[in-house]
Structure 1
């Protein structure tokens, strides 16, 4: 029989081991965050989402996964995404919430400061698309001029609303680089125009009435019908500094509803749109 002193010693050792393992384990690896009561419990088909997850930010990929799982979109576009973070997010979504996603990457640079790794083999950084349905025909494009940092877009084909749709995910040049963004939009819009049905997700780093967005707005409709490039437009902010920089643009697809969801785990809010199914 094990004595009381032995049991106490064993318990103390377990607590000590957890204290040691916790910080060195992958972020959020020991405990899952509970979902809110109102969270959905399965993939919401015909729902798409865009989210700049913030980088470099010392946030838990388990918490990021819980934010996504709360709304469980069919298609997710992530910006400022490191491949290793996306891999962990996808693993958490499946193992903890039963949400299974395919993933395609649109990395545009390798950066040790942003994505870790080792100096001679840094992590890959850029965009990623997660989708509940398989994706094909991935194209990764780096803009000819990224501005102060390399930028680009990734595009895939997947099934949404029962039909094949081309999905784009982009991140445009930083603020105060309007001319650079205008050229980037020209590159993006030329490709979007090739498709009758397209979804364009991303962080455009520009407010709705910014002139550089004209090219993409002429081809698409905003999933938020109130968010128009006019004085009559009413746009919910999608950043902590109260600007609308994040969008879901639709071509040949009808929006039904949308939602903007502030998050403590990024300086950008999650933006989702529910789309009308196609007969």
Structure 2
């Protein structure tokens, strides 16, 4: 039988061991917090940036991408798709403000790419963007730019068709020059007359600028009559794509139609690429430009 003194010694040792274990556990937690950092976005893999990940954007590259909404896609994956091509300017359609905020954070925290953001939201929709039923998330367009943006406008079309639609515009820097950038999403398919009116509103705004880049999902093939006004003002970044049956236009959607455009006014296209992606029913379209 152990004496009371021996029991006391063992009890003291146990208390000391327990205290030491707690101190060690606390130190490990603090160390993990230092490694993760307070700025790691929720749901993102927390890891330090590799040297290869920290790089600059391509200063003369612009991109347009319809994110697909509602779609159960990860904003981490969306950010990785954008980071793979690192454009100076990105125009997003079907974009929820909360998603764009997360995408911007992931681009910086996980890929070392820092963007400013402006929104062209025209609708608050709980089904598309979540939030509380009495305070749904904002939905529409967004522009991410590596350079600051000025003169931001957001315009809702007089008739959105089956869903409110609009365009936004900013002035920012591409290829070292200031240029007006538009981003739009026209009415859904089988609403040709509505799209024609919307394209007319957009074309009137674009016509006020000698140099402009127009990004967006126009929901119309190149030879659709409703795009006539845009073709009179600008050219597609693909020089082989024309509003004629003989034009050779790469499809930009999973259903093999070209709906997504980078229209250029007073800007010279150099090289463009269309990239199918598993994270949307629209492909990524980016192009390198000579703005000077």
**TM-score (structure 1 length as normaliser):** 0.87
Identify which of 243, 247, 251 aligns with 1:233. 247
- SS of 1:71's equivalent in the other structure is coil
Tell me the alpha carbon deviations over residues 44-86 of structure 1, each in whole angstroms, 9 at most, x when there is no partner: 0110000000000000000000000000000000000000000
Identify which of 185, 191, 210 aligns with 1:177. 191
2:39 is equivalent to residue 30 of structure 1: no
- Count of aligned pairs: 257
Corresponding residue number in structure 2 for 1:22: none
2:212 is equivalent to residue 205 of structure 1: no
2:278 is equivalent to residue 264 of structure 1: yes
Larger radius of gyration: 2
CA distance in 1, matches of 2:111, 2:73: 19
Listed as ranges, the matches of 1:112-261 within 5 Å are: 112-261=126-275
1:2 Cα deviation (Å)? 8.1
- Following superposition, which runs of at least 4 residues in structure 1 exceed 6 angstroms of deviation? none
1:41 Cα deviation (Å)? 4.2
CA distance in 2, matches of 1:135, 1:102: 7
Q: Is the Cα–Cα contact under 8 Å of residues 28 and 63 in structure 1 kept in the other structure? A: no
- SS of 1:189's equivalent in the other structure is helix
2:32 is equivalent to residue 47 of structure 1: no
Corresponding residue number in structure 2 for 1:98: 112
1:231 Cα deviation (Å)? 1.9
Tell me the alpha carbon deviations over residues 148-177 of structure 1, each in whole angstroms, 9 at most, x when there is no partner: 000000100011222221100000000000
RMSD: 2.3
Structure 1 alignment gaps of length 5 or more:
15-24
**TM-score (structure 2 length as normaliser):** 0.83
CA distance in 2, matches of 1:2, 1:246: 65
CA distance in 2, matches of 1:40, 1:274: 21
- SS of 1:89's equivalent in the other structure is helix
